[in-house]
Amino acid sequence: MNRFTLTSKIRDVYNSPVGRDVIDKLILQLGLSEKLLKNPLAMNMKLGTLSARVGGNADEGFNDAILGLLNSEQNDCLKEPPDTERKWWKESLFYQIYPRSFYDTDGDGIGDIPGITAKLDYLKELGVDALWLSPIYDSPQDDNGYDIRDYRAIDPVFGTMEDFDNLLAGVHERGMRLIMDLVINHTSDEHEWFKQAVSDPESKYRDYYHFRKSEGEEPPNNWKSFFSGQAWKKIGDSDDWALCLFSKKQMDLNWDNPEMRRDVYEIIRWWLEKGVDGFRLDVINLISKTDGLPNGNDFIGKMMGPRGIEHYFYGPKLHDYLQEMRSEVFEPFDAFTVGEMPGIGPETGKLLTSPTRRELDMFFSFDHLELPGKAKFEDYIYDAAFLKTYYTRWMRNYGNAYQSSLFYDNHDNPRMLSKIDPDGKYRDKLAMLLGAIQFTMRGTPFLYQGQELGAVNTAFSNIDEMRDIESLNLYNELIEKMSEAEAFKIVLSGARDHARVPVQWDGSKHSGFTTGEPWIKTLSDGYDAESQAVDENSILSFYKQLAQLRKNSEALIYGEVEILRTKEQIFAYTRKSKGEEYYIECNLSPNACSRPSKRPSGKLLLSNYPEQSKTMREFEVCIIEIE
Ligand code: NOJ
């Protein structure tokens, strides 16, 4: 492949995986019209002209950074036939548990492992096949467990190793599987390796991390942290600094060190020998950093994430390390992996998950969580019609050949229901509509605890009620520039705390989550599991039906998806396989409209409205079996 320069044509750039993802990202982040770039004239434009048009040229280093990224990948866009291999993780319904907020059995106000075991029958009944546990390892809990102190121990706040073994046995007895959250881009600063690296600069552990020297208060480079401020921790009053892309207690590991990698593989092997079925790999695309850790570009930082991100979101050795890790530990155990990969688009995603390249099985993309041109900490109403644009692009480019992960909620974002419908006017209808898409689109659905009950955002009234380090750091940064009320409003719009309040189990005090004082505010609004379990029209009952429908359908799991041409607010598609065919029709808007005139006829299997009428009502969904 030729090297890209500023005189390369956009057409050629668009045919390279990084180029296509970068251009699509530009369109998304800057909220540009697709037509502006994807027309024959624009495709003939030179890269340098595009860069000037989007404003990149104004920023020194932008062109170099983009060229560096484009030239880092030698592959063309992958064109592979659909992957039809049958795998348990393609057929499964995953359910993410945030243990701290799931269910508390010992009354300390914090959810625990016995609490998860106690609810296994609930999960089985819902139709869940596999659990993903957010971290339960020993940790100072600076970032609620994503800062691991000891990978081979359970944090006492969640229970004991015996509790974990019981949980795993309970999961397997019920024919379900369990995957752990593996945080190996960084460790806690209280991890033994880091402690030794600091106390003895000559120790081998020094090179397990990114230590650099810099005099005074200026850090070694200009990278920013995902959690506000600089991405460096100054070590005491020395000139030594260590890289930390998240909190000041989450120290980035140096993946270029082979001994460190071997030690990480030992940890993974240890858990696999225990019998866990796989891992969700935390920010795994960040593990490889550009040699020398050069300064980041401002423009790219504003567009894509913290300054410096172009030097590690698709780093030079990412593929090598993933391939090595897979062959060393995942493959021998036939373990499943899903990577959390902020910034990765469908084309680079293919290179990272293609079955023939042997890296990861699946990955999470986040491009649907905000509208084009919008950022997480922006107060706006999410227009659900964007989901049609997103899935159309995604299914055409990725979804029919690879296995997509399908999700709306997780522990890092406010609830999707509240983004689309902040007043909750259509709460039930919308929860059912989103679930229906998630279970009938091609890919593996991941529910996040509470989604099956219609959980919405929490009405936090001030910053003291929030617990998350990202919210608190951002608030402290913002109040330097604006009033407390303004800062709180911004934090509230994107706070992770919303999804971290306890699950509502019943109508008792604290929604039955704990008999003690909960670690964070609880939301008790009647959308609890106990009352929904006995109501056949509830969101929970609808999700159970969706799960059963998908489980028993070859077409909904392996069938191709075809998206039909309809007016903007209607999202209609078919799924088919070997004589089994479904038609799914969704109104993605809070306004009623007429039904598509041409539609296949068949038997209505499931809808969020009791009967079909001539018009499609607000957020209506129908799942029809074509006869
Ligand atoms: C991604 C996790 O999902 C998030 O919760 C965490 O704060 C960061 N990675 C750092 O580990």
**What is the distance between the alpha carbons of residues 451 and 436, in angstroms, rounded to a whole number?**
12
181 in ligand 1 pocket by Cβ < 6 Å?
A: no
What local confidence, expressed as pLDDT, does residue 532 receive? 98
Indicate which residue's Cα is closest to atom 5 of ligand 1: 412
Question: At 513, is the pLDDT very low, low, confident or very high (cuts 50, 70, 90)?
Answer: very high
DSSP 8-class letter at 88 = H
- Which pLDDT belongs to residue 5? 94
Output the pLDDT for position 350.
Answer: 96
Q: Does residue 360 contact residue 353 with C-beta atoms inside 8 Å?
A: yes
**DSSP, res 542:** H
Per-residue pLDDT tens for 514-531?
Answer: 999 999 999 999 999 999
- Summarize pLDDT for 258-280 with one digit per residue, the tens: 999 999 999 999 999 999 999 99
For all residues of the chain together, what is the average pLDDT?
95
Instruction: Give the residue with greater pLDDT, 74 vs 352.
Output: 352
Cα(349) to centroid(ligand 1), Å: 19
| Model confidence at 93: pLDDT above 70 | yes
Residue whose Cα lies nearest atom 8 of ligand 1: it is 146
The per-residue pLDDT for 1 is 62
Question: What is the average per-residue pLDDT within 411-415?
Answer: 98
Q: CA 205, CA 48: separation in Å to the nearest integer? A: 44
How far apart, in whole angstroms, are the C-alpha atoms of residue 356 and residue 222?
38
Ligand 1 within 6 A of CB of 246:
yes
C-alpha dihedral sign at 183, 186, 189, 193: positive
Q: Tell me the pLDDT tens digit for each residue of 542-592.
A: 999 999 999 999 999 999 999 999 999 999 999 999 899 999 999 999 999
Sign, Cα dihedral of 443, 445, 446, 448: positive
CB-CB neighbours of 627 under 10 Å = 8
Q: Find the mean pLDDT for residues 477-483.
A: 97
**CB-based burial of residue 166 (10 Å sphere; 0-12 exposed, 13-18 middle, 19+ buried)?**
middle
Q: Is 370 in the pocket of ligand 1 (CB under 6 A)?
A: no
Which of 30-34, 38-42, 164-168, 258-262 bottoms out in mean pLDDT, i.e. has the lowest? Answer: 30-34
pLDDT at 13 over 70: yes
Q: Distance (Å, rounded) from C-alpha 521 to C-alpha 99?
A: 16
The secondary structure element, H or E, covering residue 154 is strand 150-154
Average pLDDT over residues 390-417: 95
Under the banding of pLDDT at 50, 70 and 90, the label for residue 57 is low
Superfamily in which the 192-252 domain is placed by CATH: Oligo-1,6-glucosidase; Domain 2 (3.90.400.10)
pLDDT confidence of residue 205: 98
Q: Which atom in ligand 1 lies closest to the alpha carbon of residue 246?
A: 10
Residue 561's pLDDT is what?
95
Could you give the C-alpha distances from 369 to 28, 376, 503, in angstroms and in order?
A: 11, 8, 22
Of the pLDDT bands very low, low, confident and very high (cuts 50, 70, 90), residue 51 is confident
For 251, the 3-state DSSP assignment is: strand
Q: Judge residue 386's burial from the number of C-beta atoms within 10 Å of its C-beta, 0-12 exposed, 13-18 middle, 19 or more buried.
A: middle
Question: What pLDDT digit, counting tens, does each position of 306-339 carry?
Answer: 999 999 999 999 999 999 999 999 999 999 999 9
Which numbered atom of ligand 1 lies nearest the CA of 227? 7
Q: Which of 151, 172, 154, 171 is nearest to 163 (CA)?
A: 154
Average pLDDT, integer, range 97-110: 98
Q: Spell out the domain ranges in the chain.
A: 10-72, 192-252, 461-494, 554-626
pLDDT digits (tens, 9 = 90+) for 490-510: 999 999 999 999 999 999 999
CA distance from start to end of the chain: 49
pLDDT mean over 282-293? 98
Which pLDDT score, from 0 to 100, does residue 36 have?
Answer: 76
Flag whether pLDDT at 173 surpasses 80: yes
Ligand 1 pocket, 412 CB below 6 A? yes
The residue whose C-alpha atom lies closest to atom 6 belonging to ligand 1 is: 146
Nearest-angstrom CA–CA distance, 435 and 532: 16
Enumerate residues 6+ apart whose C-beta is below 8 A from 423.
none
CATH T-level assignment (fold) for domain 554-626: Immunoglobulin-like (2.60.40)
Among 18-22, 169-173, 240-244, 285-289, the minimum mean pLDDT is found in 18-22
In the predicted structure, residue 59 carries a pLDDT above the cut 80: no
pLDDT at 84: 85
User: What's the pLDDT score for residue 58?
Assistant: 64
